[in-house]
Amino acid sequence: MKKGYFGDFGGQFVAELLIPPLRELEHALKTIVPSPEFQAEFTALLKDYVGRKSPLTLCPSLSKELGFNLWLKREDLNHTGSHKINNTLGQALLTKYMGKPALLTETGAGMNGVATATAARALDLDCIVFMGATDVARQSHNVRRMQLLGAEIVPVQNGTKTLKDAINEALRYWIAEQRTHHYCFGTAAGPHPFPTLVREFQAVVGREAREQMLEKTGELPYAVVACVGGGSNAIGAFHAFVPDAGVRLIGVEAAGTGEKGCFNSAPLNLGSPGVLHGQMTMLLQDDDGQILPSHSVAAGLDYPGVGPEHAHLHASGRATYGTVNDAQALNAFMRLTRAEGIMPALESSHAVAWVLENRDQIPRGANVIVNLSGRGDKDMDIIEESLGSLLGQQGSKG
Amino acid sequence: MTTSSQTSRLTDRICAANKAGRKALIPFLPGGFPDRESFWTHLAALDAGGADIIEVGVPFSDPCADGPVVEKASIQALEMGTTLKWLLEGLRERAGQYQAELVLMGYLNPFLQYGFEKLADDAVAAGVSGFIIPDLPLDEDAPYRAILQGRGMSLVPLVGLNTDLERMQAYAAVSTGYVYVVSVLGTTGARESFPAELADALARARKAFDLPIALGFGIKEPAQLAVFGDTIDAVIFGSALITHVREKGSVDAFMARWA
């Protein structure tokens, strides 16, 4: 297979000026990451700083109702509240080993920005975060967290002023500052070697979940379900299970409002192949190859592309990808919150919602793992706004 | 020429300018900018004003190797309804009208969605001599280069301050037309001065390539060129021209400064 490809997807579609830092990173991925010193230091950080391993929690109440066992891989319990920290600590540590003093990154909802700013503090690196001006306005809480952590925030005024434009600007900045800055790419997407590098650091999720499932039930799960924006939590959850042919891998994309023709974040289901941000992948685009705006109530899924390995798993059929709309995700948020006392991020709520909406496809007594990629308190404003009426209705049943 | 059995019209054009004792002039203008009608007027004025080669930009929603001036112009052109199809049809209708050679410069995705073989056929019919695709580096370009060169067009390589000699030689082994040397480690846009490493990069390019060297990114006025002497053969200017057009300056006046 061609270098940096997953089947027909992936590659390195970047300006020539970015080839040297990508080559440097490829070399670091091959030589530094597998070294015992790096692995020992990374494992210690995951254990003592992030709080790994994260639990695999059975949902007793929902499981009883559904007729099968719903397990949650609790990435929401990580330091900073999501799976993002696994990747940012890995890349920050790699940055130290590469001898660079600073990180740059992009963020949409702000979770990757917070996780990167945190990793920068933990490992004494400078940090600059590019964030679409629209996202800066709607995620002000995370902006303040990043500022408290000492990161410099650059609001991006170009294009749609959201995540894709933040990535454009981060790539531009990296061209100019490649000698001092490592681009801590936030998801398992972008030019090679980022999709592989990020998967490497997120694969701990699936490795732990597989062991935990075997320990608790003595068997492999019927299915592993995860939400997919760029797809880092999903590829992390799936990776250890890919060789287990009997385990269904189910990614869940955001369908937006779900109306026909609405803006969505479901390029695997509703998009077509193309090149954006250094990768050949599935994209939301018009007939002329211009990238379309995306939408999801979950800002962390709001991206018009998807990591190339998911495009490949989709094309090969090893994983399947469903969709969940905003209302279904909000409903799942409430169901999990009320039934189990666990408040999922709106991103993770999409994965929970897929299970609730597709319960008829799952055999009685099966074990289903949902990767609960993040916690929901970051979404309070959106949830209160969107669920105002629903809260009133469900309050009496609660 | 070690790089190709065919002689490129782009190479010939730059060499002819050099024989006449001047640097070849290569303006860049986004297709459909500032609006679809004015674009054709400006293109004709660039041609009449002495451009040797004109790089016509194909606007893309996410031009991540470009600075703010080109990005804004691209978005404006898209909002004016510019498409690759419209641009190619307009060029085909005017084929043969221009003295200058034409190069299409754009990101890969719009070209892919058009269908790359069809694009190459239609570009030939439109009188296009080559392409510049900033997000298509050597490692990915083989199938596309073959399609373009098979029809007598060039895929112009971009190299920069951080491109080593070996890499330049790898480009040189397959490239035709000219080599685009990016003057700064950065994106497009006018700058006051050039970095010290540029002289080394130009020397490496001269050693690696038999092709003419065109310098681009950050160039806004002829006085900036004196320092380069014979180390460059052509000069590319984009952001400065866009800014000039945006400020309602005439293209004739802009080109007159360079003549």
Alpha-carbon span A128 to B103, nearest angstrom: 37
User: Three-state SS for A372?
Assistant: strand
Helix (H), strand (E) at residue B83? none
Return left, alpha or beta for A42; rule: phi > 0 is left, psi -120 to 50 is alpha, else beta: alpha
Residue position matching structure tokens 């190459």:
B120
What pLDDT is attached to residue A71? 99
Please, are residues B231 and B213 in contact by the beta-carbon 8 Å criterion? yes
Residue position matching structure tokens 């990238």:
A291
List the single residue in B113, B134, B158 with the smallest CB-CB distance to A274. Answer: B113
Q: Does the beta-carbon distance from A285 to B113 stay under 8 Å?
A: yes
Cα nearest neighbour of B161 on chain A: A17
What pLDDT is attached to residue B192? 79
Residue position matching structure tokens 């979950």:
A298
What is the reported pTM? 0.95
* Letter string b/e over residues B12-37, b meaning 16 or more CB atoms within 10 A of that residue's CB: ebbbebbeeeebbbbbbbbbbbbebe
User: Which of 3.40.50.2300, 3.40.50.1100, 1.10.1040.10, 1.10.1670.10 would CATH assign to domain A51-81+203-395?
Assistant: 3.40.50.1100
Cα nearest neighbour of B184 on chain A: A176
Chain A residues within 8 A of B135 when measuring between CB atoms: 13-15, 275, 278
What pLDDT is attached to residue B6? 55
For chain B, the residues whose C-beta falls within 8 A of a C-beta of chain A are 60-65, 67-68, 71-72, 75, 78, 83-85, 107-114, 134-140, 157-164, 167, 182, 184-187
Q: Does the beta-carbon distance from A176 to B136 stay under 8 Å?
A: no
Alpha-carbon span A178 to A58, nearest angstrom: 45
Residue numbers in chain A where pLDDT is lower than 70: 1, 389-398
Pairing of strands A278-283, A9-13: antiparallel
Alpha-carbon span B218 to B195, nearest angstrom: 11
Read off the amino acid at residue A244: D
CATH 3.40.50.1100-classified regions of chain A: 20-46+82-198, 51-81+203-395
Chain B interface disruption, residue of A288, A292, A303, most B CBs within 10 A: A288
User: Three-state SS for B69?
Assistant: helix
Model confidence over A297-325: pLDDT tens digits?
A: 888 899 999 999 999 999 999 999 999 99
Q: Does the beta-carbon distance from B160 to A287 stay under 8 Å?
A: no
Chain A residues within 8 A of B84 when measuring between CB atoms: 288-289
Alpha carbon of A294: minimum distance to chain B alpha carbons (Å): 13
List the single residue in B110, B134, B184 with the smallest CB-CB distance to A15. Answer: B134
Active site residues of B: 55, 66
What pLDDT is attached to residue A395? 45
DSSP string, A106-167: EESSSHHHHHHHHHHHHTT-EEEEEEEHHHHHHTHHHHHHHHHTTPEEEEE-STTSSHHHHH
Alpha-carbon span B243 to A227, nearest angstrom: 44
Q: Does the beta-carbon distance from B185 to A176 stay under 8 Å?
A: yes
Chain A residues within 8 A of B63 when measuring between CB atoms: 168
Nearest to A186 by CA among A208, A204, A164, A205: A164
What pLDDT is attached to residue A389? 58
List the single residue in A16, A167, A175 with the smallest CB-CB distance to B187. Answer: A175
Q: Does the beta-carbon distance from B65 to A20 stay under 8 Å?
A: no
Alpha-carbon span A331 to A324, nearest angstrom: 11
Alpha-carbon span B27 to B254, nearest angstrom: 10
Q: Does the beta-carbon distance from B109 to A274 stay under 8 Å?
A: yes
List the single residue in A165, A176, A277 with the smallest CB-CB distance to B186. Answer: A176
Tokens standing for residue B88: 């190619």
Tokens standing for residue A306: 């998807």
Radius of gyration of chain A (CA): 20
Chain A interface disruption, residue of B69, B139, B188, most A CBs within 10 A: B139
Chain B residues within 8 A of A159 when measuring between CB atoms: 61-62, 71, 75
* ipTM of the complex in this document: 0.96
User: Three-state SS for A251?
Assistant: strand
Q: Does the beta-carbon distance from B140 to A12 stay under 8 Å?
A: yes
Domain formed by A20-46+82-198, architecture: 3-Layer(aba) Sandwich (3.40)
Diameter of chain B measured on Cα atoms:
45
Alpha-carbon span A391 to A296, nearest angstrom: 20
Q: Name the residue ranges covered by the structural domains of chain B.
A: 9-258
**What are residue A64's phi and psi, to 5 degrees?**
-60, -45
List the single residue in A13, A168, A285 with the smallest CB-CB distance to B108. Answer: A13
CATH class, domain B9-258, is alpha beta
Helix (H), strand (E) at residue A225? strand A223-227
Q: Does the beta-carbon distance from B113 to A20 stay under 8 Å?
A: no
Q: What is the dihedral of CA B242, B244, B250, B252, to 10 degrees?
A: -80
Chain A interface disruption, residue of B74, B140, B167, B180, most A CBs within 10 A: B140
Please, are residues B206 and B199 in contact by the beta-carbon 8 Å criterion? no
Tokens standing for residue A178: 């490649």
For each of chain B's 259 residues, which pLDDT tens digit applies?
334 445 799 999 999 999 999 999 999 999 999 999 999 999 999 999 999 999 999 999 999 988 889 999 999 999 999 999 999 999 999 999 999 999 999 999 999 999 999 999 999 999 999 999 999 999 999 999 999 999 999 999 999 999 999 999 999 999 999 999 999 998 887 777 889 999 999 999 999 999 999 999 988 888 889 899 999 999 999 999 999 999 999 999 999 998 7
In the structure, how many helices (H) and strands (E) does chain A have?
Answer: 16, 14
Q: Does the beta-carbon distance from A276 to B109 stay under 8 Å?
A: yes
Alpha-carbon span B42 to B244, nearest angstrom: 12
Burial of B61 (0-12, 13-18, 19+ CB in 10 A): buried
C-alpha separations of B212 from A128, A312, A334, B176, B178 in Å: 39, 41, 65, 10, 5
What pLDDT is attached to residue B183? 94
Q: Does the beta-carbon distance from B65 to A158 stay under 8 Å?
A: no
Distance, CA of A103 to chain centre: 19
Distance, CA of B93 to chain centre: 22
Alpha-carbon span A293 to A264, nearest angstrom: 8
User: Three-state SS for B65?
Assistant: coil
Helix (H), strand (E) at residue A333? helix A326-340
Alpha carbon of A156: minimum distance to chain B alpha carbons (Å): 11
Sheet harboring A9-13: ordered strands across?
Answer: A5-6, A9-13, A278-283, A272-276
Read off the amino acid at residue A363: P
Alpha-carbon span A369 to A152, nearest angstrom: 37
Chain B residues within 8 A of A11 when measuring between CB atoms: 139-140
- Compute the C-alpha angle A162/B186/A156, nearest 5°: 20
CB pairs under 8 A between A and B: 112
Nearest to A238 by CA among A210, A215, A212: A210
What pLDDT is attached to residue B84? 98
List the single residue in A171, A283, A285 with the smallest CB-CB distance to B64. Answer: A171
Beta-bridge partners for A56: A73
In the structure, how many helices (H) and strands (E) does chain B have?
Answer: 11, 9
Q: Does the beta-carbon distance from A287 to B71 stay under 8 Å?
A: no
Q: Does the beta-carbon distance from A288 to B84 stay under 8 Å?
A: yes
What pLDDT is attached to residue A393? 54
Chain B interface disruption, residue of A2, A3, A9, A17, most B CBs within 10 A: A17
Count, residues in chain A:
398
Chain B residues within 8 A of A16 when measuring between CB atoms: 134, 137-138, 157-160, 163, 182
**What are residue A364's phi and psi, to 5 degrees?**
-60, 140
User: Three-state SS for A271?
Assistant: coil
Nearest to A240 by CA among A200, A281, A268, A188: A200
Return left, alpha or beta for B242; rule: phi > 0 is left, psi -120 to 50 is alpha, else beta: alpha
Nearest to A351 by CA among A369, A367, A377: A369
Model confidence over B117-170: pLDDT tens digits?
A: 999 999 999 999 999 999 999 999 999 999 999 999 999 999 999 999 999 999
